[in-house]
């Protein structure tokens, strides 16, 4: 159960308006804002239109890129809404107001395609410095600078369930004591990249979306931005905040079925709904409103209905169902957060939001709210989001209530390690590589598949990106090290958190380059699907049979260690039994040149992947697997934070400016540094340092990961435990 976490602020920007109230009023009046999108970089030959966000005031941060500008807007609106009667906000500092202690504010945003418009600008002009705004971490830094964010700034991708996934991860940071307040939400900008991709898959409707109707023929690609402020109920009460709703529970699952198609019977979605209800301590009969994913695509709507019918059974006709994409279009990574904000508005107004049009649903017993808002007692709602790769997330909202008691924190054990690195395919080979003292002087390039003999075979992996192949190879090796076979019951109940800075860069470059040269009609659907940042997580769930939640942290050098930290928090709070964690990067010449063009230096770069199996310590003991090491609570610090401590540090600190600053701050501490022996591998570097320290026999150490601006993630590791520790 979520421990007393509440929503105190919301912000929204979509095609129908720039606030929850204005969007609601537009939906109620039947206003349509689905049509041509002037901000699309290229107009398609057959323009089916979509949902472009309403224009921001001209004076509002006009220098920011589109994604960052709209994100800044919704975050500022959410913080204003969260302001208490005394004027205090759960973020940063306020002139003239003394605080007993600083508020550690974290950010978790969900997205599918982050700063993709910057990539288009770079490909068109040849100016690679335009890629400075491409990475998800850069979008956050640009959007939220000056707001006083002192905690972790994370971006997650689970495709179209990213917006809800970010809110669930925000709850984990609060429950684990890693933050005092969290700004969570989702976004995706209008982009030729996404429009062309979904159209190439045959998913974009020529007319208006008709969710759950027999002749439905697809969705509208839209943009949307939403933010919510999450706090512990006791903290919100202490500062006199107005609580909008409580986050009562959430559930996350993976279909483990197909990269772009849902499991037809909706079994994964049904498990996510049941998990969220169980987490909230509720029965389905207590739900007053269902905000459905409802894309209006034939297969997705059918699978979603099957899931709802399986969970609600004969009670389904009693529960109003809202299909908000009929008004908004599909806002992709923003969708879950956008629709959750409108669910909060439904609770406030005690009105079930309408579905556009008067269409009769195909499916019997589906109480689709049509044409006009429905007066209804709404105390408890569910929001459901379903993404590419079978990523399913469900969140339950309810009125605030007393916090439930929680069992003591679980010990978190490392039970398996796997890696694929330049010159090293095992931890022992990595120790030998580092001990030789040789330094990498130039790019090592991609790792040939023959060097690691992919366990799934060339036939199954031939269409995958190098990033996905490396992830699967390292994860399979880690599972073998942990004694977990693919398809085993232990893996079926497991989850995954992946980290990557760049993702499938080469597929994205090939896909987008063709659109720039030849127009949106030239989009390659296979490259589009494989280039989505969570594609590796989808392949991993299918290959290993994972049915738990699968998230991918993206766009930061810290993403790998952040993934390990979040998975450890989930296990520590008793939410997960086991997790596969991986950090992987493929080699891209474009990335190497872009870092130099952006003034970040030209350093030797290469590909690599490291995977770690985390497990509840009692679970490991029960199956006779002694832990390789135990993990302590994570620490996040902003730029310039202190890096003092008693033990050694394992890291990959190269010649980049942030690394040099961190090295200077570590004077007096022993540093187990794998940089030099290995090329720059971004998110995979710190996990390689962790694998090295464990294989070298270090009894206790910290792992450090440094972002481009100097923010740090730290995680304590104890390789030798006292008797009875488990």
Domains, the chain, ordered by start = 5-306+320-398 (3.40.47.10), 412-718 (3.40.47.10)
pLDDT of residue 341: 98
Higher pLDDT, 136 or 601: 136
Query: For the chain, what is the mean pLDDT?
Result: 92
Q: List, for residues 256-310, the tens digit of each pLDDT value.
A: 888 888 899 999 999 999 999 999 999 999 999 999 999 999 999 999 999 999 9
Give the tens place of pLDDT for each residue, 16-53: 999 999 999 999 998 889 999 999 999 888 889 999 99
Q: How confident is the model over 476-505, as a mean pLDDT? A: 95
The beta strand positions in 288-378, using DSSP E, are: 289-291, 321-322, 351-352, 374-375
User: How far is it, in rounded angstroms, from Cα 560 to Cα 558?
Assistant: 6
Q: How confident is the model at residue 462 (pLDDT cuts 50, 70, 90)?
A: confident
Per-residue pLDDT at 226 exceeds 80: yes
Q: pLDDT digit string (tens) for 506-546?
A: 999 999 999 999 999 999 999 999 999 999 999 999 999 99
- What is the reported pLDDT for 2? 66
pLDDT of residue 86: 58
105 confidence band (pLDDT: 50, 70, 90): very high
124 has pLDDT over 90: yes
Distance between CA 228 and CA 252 in Å, rounded? 19
Indicate whether 492 pLDDT > 70: yes
pLDDT at position 639: 76
Residue 693: pLDDT above 80? yes
Both tokens of residue 327?
A: 């008004």
- Outline where DSSP puts E strands in 406-476: 412-420
Task: With a cut of 50, say whether residue 601 has pLDDT above it.
Answer: yes
What's the pLDDT score for residue 725? 35
User: With bands split at pLDDT 50, 70 and 90, how would you rate the model's confidence at 14?
Assistant: very high
Percent of the chain with pLDDT over 70: 95
Distance between CA atoms of residues 565 and 618, nearest Å? 19
Q: pTM here? A: 0.95
Give the separation between CA 166 and CA 161, rounded to whole angstroms.
9
Which pLDDT score is estimated for 402? 61
Q: Give the pLDDT of residue 371.
A: 84
What is the gyration radius of the CA atoms in the chain, in angstroms? 24
pLDDT at 90: 76
Which of 389 and 1 is assigned the larger pLDDT? 389
Question: CB of 283 within 8 A of CB of 203?
Answer: no
Distance of CA 77 to the CA centre of its chain: 22
β-bridge partners, 413: 615, 630
Quote the strand ranges of 48-163, DSSP E.
105-111, 153-157
Quote the pLDDT of residue 171: 97
Instruction: Give pLDDT, residue 175.
Output: 93
- Mean of the pLDDT values across residues 243-253? 97
Mean pLDDT on 239-268:
93
Distances (CA, A) of 97 to 80, 102, 183: 16, 11, 21
The two three-digit tokens of residue 626, written as one number: 């002694």
User: Per-residue pLDDT averaged across 587-610, rounded?
Assistant: 90
* Residue 638 C-beta-side C-alpha neighbours within 13 Å: 16
């Amino acid at each position: 159960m979520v421990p007393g976490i509440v929503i105190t602020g919301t912000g929204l920007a979509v095609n129908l308006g720039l606030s929850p109230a204005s969007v609601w009023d537009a939906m109620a009046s039947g206003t349509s804002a689905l049509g041509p999108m002037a901000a699309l970089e290229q107009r398609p030959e057959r323009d089916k239109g979509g949902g472009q966000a309403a224009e921001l005031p001209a004076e509002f941060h006009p220098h920011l890129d589109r994604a960052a500008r709209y994100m800044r807007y919704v975050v500022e609106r959410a913080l204003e809404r969260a302001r208490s009667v005394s004027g205090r906000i759960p973020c940063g500092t306020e002139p003239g107001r003394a605080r007993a202690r600083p508020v550690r504010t974290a950010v978790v945003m969900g997205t599918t395609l982050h700063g993709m418009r910057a990539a288009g600008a770079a490909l068109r002009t040849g100016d690679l410095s335009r890629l400075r705004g491409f990475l998800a971490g850069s979008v956050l830094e640009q959007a939220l600078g000056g707001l006083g964010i002192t905690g972790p700034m994370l971006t997650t991708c689970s495709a179209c369930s990213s917006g809800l996934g970010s809110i669930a991860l925000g709850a984990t940071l609060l429950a684990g004591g890693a933050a005092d307040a969290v700004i969570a939400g989702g976004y995706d900008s209008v982009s030729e990249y996404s429009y062309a991709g979904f159209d190439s898959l045959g998913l974009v409707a020529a007319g208006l979306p008709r969710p759950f109707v027999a002749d439905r023929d697809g969705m509208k690609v839209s943009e949307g931005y939403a933010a919510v402020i999450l706090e512990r109920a006791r903290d919100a009460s202490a500062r006199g905040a107005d609580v909008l709703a409580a986050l009562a529970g959430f559930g996350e699952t993976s279909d483990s079925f197909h990269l772009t198609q849902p499991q037809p019977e909706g079994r994964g979605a049904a498990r996510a709904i049941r998990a969220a209800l169980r987490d909230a301590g509720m029965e389905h009969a207590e739900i007053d409103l269902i905000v459905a994913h409802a894309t209006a695509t034939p297969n997705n709507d059918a699978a979603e209905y099957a899931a709802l019918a399986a969970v609600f059974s004969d009670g389904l006709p009693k529960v109003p169902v809202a299909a908000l994409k009929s008004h908004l279009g599909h806002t992709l990574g923003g969708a879950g957060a956008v629709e959750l904000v409108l669910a909060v508005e439904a609770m406030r107004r005690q009105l079930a939001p309408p579905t556009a049009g008067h269409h009769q649903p195909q499916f019997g017993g589906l109480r689709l709210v049509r044409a006009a808002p429905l007066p209804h007692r709404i105390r408890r709602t569910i929001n459901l989001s379903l993404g590419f790769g079978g990523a399913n997330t469900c969140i339950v909202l309810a009125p605030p209530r007393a916090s439930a008691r929680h069992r003591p924190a679980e010990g978190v054990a490392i039970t398996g390690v796997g890696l694929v690195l330049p010159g090293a395919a095992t931890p022992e080979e990595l120790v030998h590589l580092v001990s030789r003292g040789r330094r990498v002087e130039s790019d090592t390039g991609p790792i040939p598949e023959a060097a690691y003999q992919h366990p799934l075979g060339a036939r199954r992996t031939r269409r995958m990106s190098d990033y996905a192949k490396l992830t699967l190879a390292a994860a399979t090796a880690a599972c073998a090290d942990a004694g977990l076979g693919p398809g085993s019951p232990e893996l079926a109940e497991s989850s995954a958190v992946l980290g990557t800075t760049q993702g499938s860069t080469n597929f994205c470059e090939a896909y987008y380059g063709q659109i720039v040269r030849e127009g949106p009609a030239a989009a390659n659907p296979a490259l589009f699907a494989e280039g989505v940042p969570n594609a590796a997580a989808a392949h991993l769930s299918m290959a290993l049979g994972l049915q738990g939640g699968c998230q991918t942290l993206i766009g930061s050098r810290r993403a790998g260690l952040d993934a390990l930290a979040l998975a450890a928090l989930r296990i520590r709070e008793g939410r997960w039994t086991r997790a596969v964690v991986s950090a992987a990067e493929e080699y891209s010449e474009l990335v190497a040149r872009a870092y130099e063009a952006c003034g970040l230096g030209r350093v030797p770069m290469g590909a690599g992947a490291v995977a770690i199996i985390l497990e509840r310590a009692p679970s490991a003991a029960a199956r006779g697997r002694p832990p390789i090491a135990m993990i302590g609570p994570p620490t996040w610090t902003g730029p310039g934070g202190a890096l003092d401590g008693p033990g050694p540090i394992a890291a990959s600190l190269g010649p980049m400016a942030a690394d040099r600053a961190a090295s200077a701050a570590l004077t007096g501490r022993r540093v187990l540094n794998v940089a030099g022996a290995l090329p720059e591998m971004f998110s995979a570097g710190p996990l390689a340092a962790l694998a090295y320290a464990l294989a070298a026999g270090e009894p206790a150490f910290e792992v450090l990961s440094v972002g481009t601006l100097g923010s740090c993630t730290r995680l304590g590791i104890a390789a030798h435990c006292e008797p009875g520790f488990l």
